[in-house]
Amino acid sequence: MAKQGYHHGNLRQALIEAALKLIEEQGPQGFTLSDAAKSAGVTPAAVYRHFAGRDDLIAECARQGFAIFGDLMEHAYNDGKPTALRAFEATGRAYLAFARKFPGHYMAMFESGISMNADPTLARAAERAGAILLRAAEELTRQLPPGRRPPAAMFAAHISAMSHGVVELYTRGTPGARSPFPPEDLLETGIGIYLRGLGLVPPDS
Amino acid sequence: MAKQGYHHGNLRQALIEAALKLIEEQGPQGFTLSDAAKSAGVTPAAVYRHFAGRDDLIAECARQGFAIFGDLMEHAYNDGKPTALRAFEATGRAYLAFARKFPGHYMAMFESGISMNADPTLARAAERAGAILLRAAEELTRQLPPGRRPPAAMFAAHISAMSHGVVELYTRGTPGARSPFPPEDLLETGIGIYLRGLGLVPPDS
DNA sequence: TGTACATCAGTGAACGCGCGTTCACTGATGTAC
DNA sequence: TGTACATCAGTGAACGCGCGTTCACTGATGTAC
C-alpha cells in the first residue's frame, strides 16, 4: 500500500499506525516522535509535513480511537435491538472488546493525559461515544418504575467506571494483583450483578 | 523540621515528599529527579545518597502509598465491625478517600507504570492492601446461601474495578465527560446497587 | 574542655544522550504547453 | 510525445535543552583521646 522511494504515498496514516504501535508497547509517555518517524522509515522532520508536532500526532491517534470506539458502541447498541437490555449488555461488551483490540488507541484516549478542551474535534468525538452509552442507559431505565429509576447519567457513569477499571486493572500485566478471572468474565458478571441490583434482571438468572 | 545548612537533616523523606507533590501536579511521567532535588533545595547528585535512582524514588513513593492505603483500609474495615456489610462499605469509602487525599501516592502506585515484580517489598505492600478488601468480601459473602455466592476474589475485583474507574474517570479533570455527580456519591451508589444485586442489601433501601 | 580525625551528606562540574523542533535544501511527481 | 516548470514531500544537518547519572571534592558533624 505504501509506495517505495522518495515519496512515501501515505505517510500520514503510516505515522499514526507507527505511533499507535509504540504507544501500545511503551505507553503514551514512552512514545517518541523520532521513533515513530523511524518506524515509518522517515526522518523526524518529515513528521512536520503532516502534524503540528508530537502532541498533535497523539491527539490524532486519540481522535481516530474515539471514532472507532463510537462506531463499535453504536453497532453493538444496534438501536436498542432486540431488547433494551440485550443492547445494553452488548454495549458493555463492546467497550472491553475495543480496549483489547485497539490498546494503542485506548491508551492514547485515556492515558496520554491529552487535554480534551484544547481540541474541539477531539472533545466532540469523545462526547459522541459517551452519548451512545448514555442513550442505552436511558432506554433501559425506562423499564423501571419512576420511583426507583436512577438518573441515566449516573447509571452510565457506573458502567463506564466499572469497564474502565476492569481494563486498567485486569487487562494489562502491570499492577499488583492480576485476577484469576478473564477480564471479559469479570466485566460481564459485574455488569450483570449491577443490573440485577437495579431490578433490570430477574434475581435468579 | 529540616535543619538548615550543609546537612539537610531528613533529605530522604523531603525528597519523597517533593516527588509526590510533583507527581500529583504533573503526573508520574512528567516527574523529574532533578526537579525533585531542586524542590528539596538540593543538587540532583544528592539524591543518589538516598536512592538508587529515579525509579527507586518513585518506587518508594508507591511503597509508602501502599502502606498508608493498607492502613486506611484496615482501619476502615475495623475487623468487620459493626457488621460485615457496614465494614465493607466503609472499606469502599476508604478507597476513594485515599485516592483523593493522597493523589501523588495513588498515581505513583497505579499510574507510574512501575513494575511490581521488580521489587518484592513493593509487591508485598500491594498484596497486603488487596488482601484486606478480599477478606472483607469473604466475610460478606458468607451471608449468602452457598448456591448464589460469588467467588470472593471476583467480588473484590468488581469493587476494585469500580473504585479505580471512578477515581480515574471522575476524580481528575482530564478525560472527556466530567460527570455531574461527585465521585463519592458515584461510588457509594454504584457499590450500593451492586450489593443489592448480590442480595446483600434489601431491595427497597 | 580542647584538639585530631574519621565519617559521610551534599557540592558542582561534567558527561553522553535523545528528545522535539527549525531550516535551507533536493529530488520526485504531475501538469502545461 | 517531449520538454520546462511549479509543487511539495521528505532530507540531513544542526540547534538548544533538560534529563539521569558519575565523579572527585569539600564542608559539617560527632567521636576518641
pLDDT digits (tens, 9 = 90+) for A131-180: 999 999 999 999 999 988 999 999 999 999 999 999 999 998 654 456 78
Q: Give the confidence band of A110 by pLDDT, cuts at 50, 70, 90.
A: very high
Are A63 and A34 members of one domain?
Answer: no
Does one domain contain both B66 and B18? no
Q: CATH no. for residue B139?
A: 1.10.357.10
Using a CB–CB cutoff of 8 Å, tell me whether A189 touches chain B: yes
Tell me, yes or no, if B192 comes closer than 8 A to chain A by beta carbon.
Answer: yes
What pLDDT sits at residue B10?
Answer: 92
Q: Regarding predicted confidence, which is higher, B6 or A45?
A: A45
Question: B123 contacts in A (CB within 8 Å)?
Answer: 176
Give the CA distances from residue B188 to residues A54, B102, B195, in Å, rounded to whole numbers and listed in that order. Answer: 40, 19, 11
Please identify which residue in the block is written with the cell numbers 539524591: B47
Residue whose CA lies closest to nucleotide D27 C1': B6
Residue-level pLDDT at A9: 78
pTM comes to 0.94
Residue of B nearest to A63 (CA): B176
Based on the domain organization, do A6 and A102 belong to the same domain? no
Each residue's pLDDT tens digit, B115-166: 888 889 999 999 999 999 999 999 999 999 998 899 999 999 999 999 999 9
Is B134 among the domain residues? yes
Residue of B nearest to A161 (CA): B165
Q: Which of A28, A128, A31, A135 is nearest to A79 (CA)?
A: A135
Could you give the CA distance from residue A19 to residue A104 in angstroms, rounded to a whole number? 8
CB of A9 nearer than 7 A to strand D: yes
Sign of the CA dihedral with A119 first, then A122, A124, and A126 last: negative
Q: Could you tell me the distance in Å between the CA of residue B200 and the C1' of nucleotide D4? A: 85
Q: What's residue A2's pLDDT?
A: 37
List chain B residues with CB under 8 Å of A127.
Answer: 176-177
| A164 and A114 assigned to the same domain | yes
- Give the CATH number, domain containing residue B46: 1.10.10.60
- Helices and strands: H and E segment counts in chain A: 8, 0
Q: How far is A82 from chain B (nearest CA, A)?
A: 24
Residue A41 within any structural domain of the chain: yes
* Nearest to A160, CA basis, from A115, A102, A99: A99
The Cα angle at residue B20 between residues B55 and B165, in degrees rounded to 5: 90
Of chain B residues 95-124, which have a CB less than 8 A from chain A? 109-111, 113, 115-116, 123
Q: Are residues A42 and A104 in the same domain?
A: no
Phi-psi region for residue B13, left (φ > 0), alpha (ψ -120 to 50) or beta?
A: alpha
| B-chain residues near A130 (CB < 8 A) | 176-177
Query: Which nucleotide is closest, CA of A56 to its C1'?
Result: C20
- A205 within some domain: no
Decide: residue A174, CB within 10 A, 0-12 exposed, 13-18 middle, 19+ buried. Answer: middle
Q: For B79-114, how does the pLDDT look when each residue is reduced to its tens digit (9 = 90+)?
A: 999 999 999 999 999 999 999 999 999 999 999 988
Q: Please enumerate in sequence order all residues whose Cβ is within 8 A of that of B164, keeping only pairs 6 or more positions apart, or say none.
A: A164, A165, A168, A169, B110
DSSP 8-state code for residue A50: T
Instruction: Select from B162, B177, B203 the Cβ nearest to the Cβ of A162.
Output: B162
Asked if B169 has any chain A CB less than 8 Å from its own CB, the reply is yes
B178 pLDDT band, cuts 50/70/90, is low
DSSP state of B183: H
The cell numbers describing A152, all together, are 441515566
pLDDT of residue A118: 82
CA torsion B130-B180-A112-A190 (nearest 10°) is: 40
pLDDT, residue B176, reads 46
CA to C1' distance (Å), from A13 to C28: 20
Contact B185, B194 (CB under 8 A): no
- Residue B130 falls within a domain, yes or no? yes
Which residue has the least CA–C1' distance to nucleotide D23? B45
**What is the band of A36 on the pLDDT scale with cuts at 50, 70, 90?**
very high
B161 touches A170 (CB < 8 A)? yes
Same structural domain, A154 and A125:
yes
Q: Same domain for B108 and B120?
A: yes
Q: Are residues A47 and A80 in the same domain?
A: no
Domain for residue A12, yes or no? Answer: yes
User: What total of structural domains would you count in chain B?
Assistant: 2
**Closest residue in B to A66 (Cα–Cα):** B176
Region of A121 please: left (phi>0), alpha (psi -120 to 50) or beta. Answer: alpha
Q: Which residues does chain B have within 8 Å of residue A150's beta carbon, measured at their own beta carbons?
A: 189, 193
Chain B residues 7 to 46 with C-beta below 7 Å from nucleic strand D:
7, 31-35, 44-45
Domain shared by A142 and A193, yes or no = yes
Asked whether residue A152 is domain-assigned, the answer is yes
**CB distance from B93 to chain A under 8 Å?**
no
Same domain, A66 and A124: yes
Domain boundary among B51, B67, B89: B51
Which residue shows C-alpha cell 516527588? B19
Q: Are residues B63 and B137 in the same domain?
A: yes
Q: Where on strand C do bases come within 7 A of a protein Cβ?
A: 8-14, 18-24, 27-29
Q: Is residue B205 part of a domain?
A: no
Q: Which protein residues have a C-beta closer than 7 A to any atom of strand C?
A: A 3, 5-7, 31-35, 44-45, 47-48, 53-55; B 6-9, 11, 41-46, 49-50
- The pLDDT tens digits for B29-70 are 999 999 999 999 999 999 999 999 999 999 999 999 999 999
Let me know whether B45 and B69 are in one domain.
no
Q: How confident is the model at residue A204 (pLDDT cuts 50, 70, 90)?
A: low
Domain that holds residue A7: 1-51
Please report whether residue B203 resides in a domain.
no
